[in-house]
Structure 1
Amino acid sequence: MLALARVIRRILPSSSSCQTIRAAGATNIKKCLKRFNIPCIFRYAPSSHLPSINIVRSYSVQVNLEDLTVDYDYVKKATEKSSTLIIDVREPHEIVEHGKIPNSVNIPLGNVSPVLGTMTDKDFEEVYKRPKPAEDTEIIFYCMIGKRSGMAQQNAINLGFKNAKNYLGSFTDWAIKSQ
């Protein structure tokens, strides 16, 4: 929508006769945002008379950080459950070098969205020897220290997976505690 305001600014000259039309364009953006219940704050910069839009994301339910992260003990128990999918988002050479958590599948970070989003159920099961997760399946992501797994978790949440979790300590924590 901000792009639309930029288009309006570029198309219409800044002469006083066009200021009304430019303002009308900004007003239409406001109406459009209100119509779709997108909360926003408009501020007008005195030099350009174009709105600066800050869109605020609102959630219907308060998200609890503890529900989104897991620890060593939780993951250890999850390795014994076939209903939980544990995904290692490291590159294959890292797994060869350092090892992996038992019963986990390797889907490198760059492939998480395509695999979970567009890969067919049949192809997923063929490649990973497990059923493709449903939107309510518990998925635990891990990497080496927890950063890439957090990005993978966010990708999964954006794809509609409601029970995606991040193992914050990831493989570094696993290796230390499982000795």
Structure 2
Amino acid sequence: MLISTSDLNSLLNNSNVIIADTRSFKEYSEGHIPGAVHLDLFAFHWIDTTKQGIENFNNQTQNLLSFLGVTAEKKVVFYDIISGMLAARGVWMLMYFSHDNTSMLDGGITKWKKENLPLETKPNGFKPSKFKGKINPEIISGFEYIKDNLDKITILDVRSTGEYNGSTIRAAKSGHIPNAINIDWNQNINKDGTFKNNEEISKMYDYPKDSEIVTYCQGAYRAANSFLVLKKLGFKNVRVYLGSWGEWGNKLELPVEK
């Protein structure tokens, strides 16, 4: 799920590779990896995980991936400023549609620029496809699944300490999902923007590899980053709570802890 700068540089002229820049359009227009298209994934918040809400998310995501031009034979690489949450969200979305030939650029454009690799400023257009994909329900969670399994699953709150303990309020209610453990997603990342190595990361996520783990944050972007880290470590049963605190913290009937 990770690709190095040198490996991506060797694929720049490969017509079977789609490179998606997930930063803002301003950042993209000031310089991007040659051939990259712009896809600001932060525009696609989703905080409804009712049955209908998930169906709507599936349809929207399928349309988005069709717009991006994904087909079965394409390799899709997402990049961010660092090994960040937007690129991670893109990788998770493709894995959710069982398209495993997808990667995040480790270190993002920060590492790319540091190595003086090529950049361009001209925008690149999409070449849309009719993406189908097969939904993988094993890597997504809605609020009902968590509510029904609060005592059976490991819940990782990957937000800041303030969001977790309730001193930072970003919904109708503050605090965290009962039993959730706080491991800030920023701890996944080295100072240079790359992912920490497995030895360092595994000390933070010291759980049996067959544990069922659900990650969440405010809008399931940071949670996607921690999802990728857990998969990198070999955890088999990891889900992202799509609605995250944006949904849970605004549903007054759901329990919270501080």
**What CA RMSD, in Å, does the superposition of the two structures yield over aligned residues?**
3.8
2:152 counterpart of 1:74:
no
2:217 counterpart of 1:146:
no
Q: Quote the Cα distance in structure 2 between the aligned partners of 1:116 and 1:177.
A: 37
2:180 counterpart of 1:109:
no
Amino acid at match of 2:235: F
TM-score, normalised via structure 2 length: 0.40
The 3-state SS of whatever aligns with 2:211 is: coil
Going by fraction, where is helix more abundant, 1 or 2?
1
Q: 2:207 aligns with which of 133, 145, 170?
A: 133
CA offset digits 1:26-81 (Å, max 9, x no partner): xxx9xxxxxxxxxx879xxxxxxxxxxxx948859x97432111000111122122
Bigger Cα Rg: 1
Aligned to 2:79: none
Contact 2:188-2:201 within 8 A present in 1 as well: no
Q: Quote the Cα distance in structure 2 between the aligned partners of 1:79 and 1:135.
A: 19
Aligned to 2:199: 118
Bigger RCO of structures 1 and 2 (CA < 8 A, at least 6 apart): 2
- After the TM superposition, list the runs of 4 or more consecutive aligned residues in structure 1 that deviate by more than 3 angstroms: 1-4, 55-60, 62-65, 112-121
Count how many residue pairs are aligned between Structure 1 and Structure 2.
126
Amino acid at match of 1:166: V
Structure 1: which 5+ runs fail to align?
Answer: 7-28, 30-39, 43-54, 125-130
Structure 2: which 5+ runs fail to align?
Answer: 17-73, 77-98, 102-132, 168-173, 190-194, 254-258
The 3-state SS of whatever aligns with 2:249 is: helix
Contact 1:116-1:156 within 8 A present in 2 as well: no
The 3-state SS of whatever aligns with 1:151 is: helix
